[in-house]
């Protein structure tokens, strides 16, 4: 890729290296995809690292009935890299700048959600992968690739003091946990529970701790106790231990559920105090069964949350720069991506895989 500025809108294309899955039961394998050449408002990014989100696994294996996968699928929405080209109308980036892209690459810009900086709720949003591609007519392809072209509004600035491999997961795991913690006013004096110490969960612990809350981790894994404490938890509860769970009845202001698989949330609802809230960010396909009584008593509430808008994502990145927060990552070459999926399913990653895209370029 050259690093010259381009001046006119164009739909010409170039080839990029990527990894894609051909079906729900296929492995991810090397491929070549088309990317549009950058138009006037576009930023072309050489991808340096891309995190592996559990959503990538759900999507590649077609586990979400509400969002069927279009194949071939190139996943990846935790992208960090270096700007290589910008369109003539782009003012906030120049070649050589660090840049990041999360789960969104476009939205209509007109609806009330977009107007208030909540692009994640736009009815016409374009996801980074598995969305209809308004430019090339096929489907969008994500960050398991050596480059990407994205409209400037959806490209974020990266604080210069942070390790880039650990920055990549902030673009999904980071904002997905930061946003509900901010929405629900988490601050000093609040008791916050985090269910599941995975990619999202470990970021939630770091953020809730940095916001001053008293943090309790609920985990199914006995071996994560020390890590949870190191990450900022004040207490760790092994969730299948009824005795440990009972000690926390009616005590939480807020609980964030990051679990990726089917599980019983009623046991956590009982742990909320009056007017407490449990927010779901984990996205198992199977619907939850919820006891009405758990909510009626104590006027508890249950909510959901999905990623965050662009302004809040930038706020989160700046917060991370200020507090020196990144994701704890295991850096892998892209050739190990299938193994990484299997390990993620076994909760065998501390706490996010980050793909070093140099491994794709040299392939």
Minimum CB separation of residue 246 from ligand NAP in Å reads 18
Residues forming the site for ligand NAP (CB under 6 A): 53-55, 58, 172-173, 176, 196-201, 219-221, 224, 258-261, 263, 281-284, 305-307, 344, 347
Binding segment toward Zn ion, per CB under 5 A, in 65-73, 167-175, 288-296, 319-327: 167-175
CA–CA separation, 291 and 356 (whole Å): 45
Our CB check for ligand NAP shows the closer of 85 and 224 to be 224
How far apart, in whole angstroms, are the C-alpha atoms of residue 41 and residue 151? 6
224 binds, options Zn ion, ligand NAP, none, Cβ within 5 to 8 A by partner type: ligand NAP
The option from ligand NAP, Zn ion, none interacting with 343 (CB < 5 to 8 A, set by class) reads: none
Q: Give the pair of three-digit tokens for residue 233.
A: 């938890």
Stretch binding Zn ion (CB under 5 A), from 62-70, 170-178, 207-215, 278-286: 170-178
Contacts of 116 (CB under 8 A, 6+ apart): 309
Cα separation of the two ends of the chain:
17
Closest CB 9 distance from ligand NAP, rounded Å: 32
* Cβ proximity to ligand NAP, 199 vs 276, nearer residue: 199
DSSP-derived secondary structure for 92-139: S--TT-EEEE-SEEE--S-SHHHHTT-GGG-TT-EESSSSB-TTTSSB
Cβ 352 to Zn ion shortest distance, Å: 10
CB of 53 to Zn ion, least distance (A): 3
Contact 118, 106 (CB under 8 A): no
Contact mark string toward Zn ion, 13..52, x via CB under 5 A:
----------------------------------------
Q: How far is the CB of 113 from ligand NAP (least distance, A)?
A: 15
3-state SS of 202-222 is HHHHHHHHHCCCEEEEEECCH
CB of 309 to ligand NAP, least distance (A): 12
**Exposed, middle or buried: residue 18 (CB in 10 Å: 0-12, 13-18, 19+)?**
buried
Q: Does 172 bind Zn ion (CB under 5 A)?
A: yes
Give, to the nearest 10 degrees, the angle between helix 173-183 and helix 310-323: 100
The answer to whether 217 touches 230, Cβ cutoff 8 Å, is no
Distance CA 122, CA 111 (A): 7
Q: Where are the beta strands (DSSP E) in the chain?
A: 13-21, 28-36, 42-52, 79-86, 98-101, 104-106, 126-127, 147-151, 191-195, 214-219, 235-238, 252-257, 272-280, 301-304, 329-333, 352-356
Give the shortest CB-6-to-ligand NAP separation in angstroms: 33
Residue 58 contact partner, candidates Zn ion, ligand NAP, none, CB within 5 to 8 A by sort of partner:
ligand NAP
- In terms of CB distance, is 81 or 282 closer to ligand NAP? 282
Q: Compare residues 252 and 353 and give the one whose CB is closer to ligand NAP.
A: 353
The residue behind tokens 């909540």 is 118
Instruction: Find tokens 């440990």 and name the residue.
Output: 244
Q: Is the CB of 233 or the CB of 360 nearer to ligand NAP?
A: 233
Which residue number is nearest to Zn ion in terms of Cβ?
Answer: 53
DSSP-assigned letter for residue 192: E
In the numeric block, which tokens belong to residue 186?
A: 């988490």
Please report whether residue 170 would count as binding Zn ion according to CB under 5 A. no
Residue in 53, 86, 155, 168 binding Zn ion, rule: CB under 5 A: 53
Question: Could you say whether residue 310 binds Zn ion (CB under 5 A)?
Answer: no
| Nearer of residues 206 and 300 to Zn ion, judged by Cβ | 206
What is the contact surface with Zn ion in residues (CB under 5 A)? Answer: 53, 55, 172
């Amino acid at each position: 890729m050259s690093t010259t500025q381009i001046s006119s809108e164009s739909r010409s294309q170039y080839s990029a290296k990527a990894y894609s899955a051909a079906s729900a039961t296929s492995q991810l394998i090397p491929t070549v995809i088309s990317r549009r050449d950058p138009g006037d408002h576009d930023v072309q990014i050489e991808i340096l690292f891309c995190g592996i989100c559990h959503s990538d696994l759900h999507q590649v294996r077609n586990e979400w009935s509400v969002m069927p996968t279009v194949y071939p699928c190139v996943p990846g929405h935790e992208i960090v890299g270096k700007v290589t080209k910008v369109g003539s109308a782009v003012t906030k980036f120049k070649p050589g700048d660090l840049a990041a892209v999360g789960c969104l690459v476009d939205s209509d810009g007109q609806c009330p959600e977009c107007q208030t900086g909540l692009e994640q709720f736009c009815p016409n949003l374009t996801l980074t992968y598995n969305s209809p591609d308004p430019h090339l007519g096929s489907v969008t392809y994500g960050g398991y690739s050596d480059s990407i072209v994205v409209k400037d509004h959806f490209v974020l600035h990266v604080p210069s003091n942070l390790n880039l491999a650990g920055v990549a997961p902030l673009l999904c795991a980071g904002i997905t946990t930061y946003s509900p913690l901010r929405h629900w006013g988490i601050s000093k004096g609040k008791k916050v529970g985090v269910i599941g110490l995975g990619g999202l969960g470990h970021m939630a612990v770091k953020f809730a701790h940095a916001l001053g809350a008293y943090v309790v981790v609920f985990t199914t894994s006995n071996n994560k106790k020390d890590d949870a404490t190191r990450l900022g938890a004040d207490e760790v509860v092994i969730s299948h231990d009824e005795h440990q769970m009972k000690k926390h009845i009616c005590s939480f202001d807020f609980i964030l559920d990051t679990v990726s698989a089917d599980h019983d949330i009623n046991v956590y609802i009982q742990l909320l105090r009056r007017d407490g809230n449990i927010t779901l960010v984990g996205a198992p396909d199977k619907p939850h069964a919820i006891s009405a009584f758990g909510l009626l008593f104590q006027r508890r509430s249950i909510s959901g949350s999905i990623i965050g808008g662009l302004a809040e994502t930038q706020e989160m990145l700046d917060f991370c720069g200020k507090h020196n927060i990144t994701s704890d990552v295991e850096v892998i070459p892209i050739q190990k991506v299938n193994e990484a999926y299997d390990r993620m399913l076994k909760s065998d990653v501390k706490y996010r895989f980050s793909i070093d895209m140099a491994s794709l370029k040299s392939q």
